[in-house]
Amino acid sequence: MRAGAKWGSVVMSALLALAVGAAPALAGPQGIAQAGSPLHHRPVNGFARGGPWNTPLPANVPLAPNSAAIVANIALDQQTNFASWGLNTDTYSTPIIYVGRHAPVQNWTYSDCQDLPQLAPVLAPSLKDVPTPANLIVSQGTDESTTIYQPSTDTYWDFWRAEKDASGHWSACWGGKIEHYSHNPGIFDNPLGATATGLPLGAFTIRISELQRGYIDHAINLVLPRTQSGCFSWPATRDDGNTAGGDIACEGQRFRLNPAFDVSTLYGAGSQIIARAMQKYGLILSDKGGAVVSYAEDPRPYEAAHGGVNPYPAIMDPDNLLPPGGWPYVLTQIPVTELQALPLNYGQPR
């Protein structure tokens, strides 16, 4: 096992924190040989190839002038919030549901959980004629998020605080719909979208299939406990920042893992696949949360189709070397101090 004793102690302390209910559940594929992504393919997230998620970073990118200070604050957040970097799967992430052209549709209801009735007309078009299959589920945890793709109509939805009542009728407190998503850069029109930044869950969430095939072809997300208040960076369209200070990361800000970091030192092919995506495509700060985390898709639809087997333990802990339940924390091996902050609005079209 390449991970040292220090990492092992971090994993155990994070597990203890989770056991007493202090943090949201965190998560992780099966060891597959690393492969290079093909030059010509449609990005797995379905959004436009030239958008911020699907455009590889050049070898040399400018860094924010205060990159080191921003990263130091991220390291502080990690140490003071369970000392871990978790991969959320079935809790505080999203299931990804693909539906056919003839999937049953339903007019959802605006649940107005935030007492903002004036927003009902804004969300109304996104709640109309939503493909709503019987197997639709939401993430565990208070976000209750879900993501729906309908390739036949090139339409995408994601919802926050989505619920089904006893009669089978669905409602949501917020979310949005993107038509022609294959031509969309992966950005909701403000103020739509389940995340606080207006960035689609489906644009950045790591797929099980990506981990199994050996590469991720898009930027992933980063969630931090502290994000700068009153500041957002393209591609975000809004923020819910909670902390003042110029050296606090802004929601929407792009990061990358230092390309000089030796990914081969990480334990498990799954961690290496994710780290390589961080180097090639980067990470985008999508939201704030209770710990340093990134998202991978909810495994429950996969489990339903594969005999109830959760694929993440075998992918993230292929040799079964971690303590029981330790696989959600394997990204803790990646030193957050190896992150680099890019300038605000990096890559924004002129």
* Residues 98-148: tens digit of each pLDDT: 999 999 999 999 999 999 999 999 999 999 999 999 999 999 999 999 999
Which domain-ending residue is among 201, 231, 248? 201
pLDDT over 80 at 70, yes or no: yes
pTM of the model: 0.89
Measured from the Cβ of residue 149, the count of other Cβ atoms closer than 10 Å reads 20
User: Are 213 and 304 found together in one domain?
Assistant: yes
Listed residues 185, 201, 217: the one ending a domain: 201
- Could you tell me if residue 350 is inside a domain? no
Average pLDDT over residues 222-227: 98
pLDDT (tens digit per residue) in 203-215 = 999 999 999 999 9
Residues 217 and 336 in one domain: yes
Asked whether 299 and 310 are in contact (CB, 8 A), the reply is yes
**Burial level of 101, CB count in 10 A (0-12/13-18/19+)?**
exposed
Name the domain count of the chain: 2
Q: How much is the pLDDT for 327?
A: 96
Evaluate if residue 10 carries a pLDDT over 70: no
Q: What pLDDT, in 10s, does the model give residues 301-310? A: 999 999 999 9
Looking at the fold, whether 125 and 177 belong to one and the same domain comes out as: yes
Residues 182 and 291 reside in one and the same domain: no
**Band of pLDDT at residue 20, cut at 50, 70 and 90:** very low
What is the span of the domain harbouring residue 283? 5-93+202-341
pLDDT at 41: 73
318 and 227 belong to one structural domain: yes
| pLDDT at position 149 | 98
